[in-house]
Amino acid sequence: MSGPGASGAKQRARVYQVDKATYQSGGIQRKGLVDVDKRLLREPRKVLVGLRVRNDQDILGFRMFGKKGAVQIPLSREAPNGTIATQLNTVAPASGERWIGYVSDYDPEQHGENGFRTEIHVSNFTANANGFQEIPVAFTYHNPAGNEFAVGHYIVTPSILPSQNADPEPPPEHPIEGAKAKQKPKAKPKVKGHKKLKAAKSKKARRKKR
């Protein structure tokens, strides 16, 4: 997912908060914008997504939308201790935390390229009112051979759940997907009659030498 020959975790995505989070029944709901590196394939693929939360928490709801937020991306949660969670618990375990896996049918023609929007609802949010909770996120394309996270390459990024005192995050000033390639120097504009002028100067120089 991060380029030919690459393996392991690559931090080539950013998660931005959209609007202010809401807090109900001890949980938190937050909308986010995930901006992804341009080195994604341009064909429909199954995407494997893993989110790591504390053992005493659960993801009550998780939805993905195209980058413009209009088209929902099909998403299904895998069974406990499924393939995604098992692989990620092996390569990125954390004491007192667990991975929850999702499978998405991503189609760039319908959902846009290099990013998507999310809505997440996490239970038992206990961060200090002036604090936050970090949720590691990992995702990659499905590989028929399996072991995507264990031996393949994948993208990782932190997702921040802000507490009540946090202000809404401003939109990204320099998103990854909007990064411009290094521009080539502009060629000097050609002057009309340039060849004739050059020839005349050369002839004049020869006369002076005589």
Task: Delimit the domains of the chain by residue range.
Answer: 8-178
* Other beta carbons within 10 Å of 46: 14
Q: What is the pLDDT of residue 184?
A: 47
The CATH number given to 8-178 is 2.60.40.3670
Q: How many residues does the chain have?
A: 210
Q: What is the pLDDT of residue 2?
A: 39
Parts of the chain with a pLDDT under 70: 1-6, 38-44, 68-69, 109-114, 169-210
Q: What is the pLDDT of residue 63?
A: 93
**Helices and strands (DSSP H and E) totals, the chain:** 4, 11
**Pair 123, 60: CB distance under 8 Å:** yes
**Pair 116, 73: CB distance under 8 Å:** yes
Place of tokens 């393939």: 83
pTM for the model stands at: 0.74
- The SS3 assignment for 76 reads strand
* Sign of the dihedral through C-alpha 161, 163, 168, 173: negative
Please provide the average confidence, as pLDDT, over all residues in the chain: 80
Q: What is the pLDDT of residue 16?
A: 84
- Identify each DSSP E strand in the chain by its residue range: 8-10, 13-24, 27-36, 45-54, 59-66, 72-73, 75-77, 97-106, 115-122, 132-141, 153-162
Q: What is the pLDDT of residue 181?
A: 42
DSSP 100: E
Q: What is the pLDDT of residue 44?
A: 66
**Pair 139, 48: CB distance under 8 Å:** yes
Q: What is the pLDDT of residue 53?
A: 97
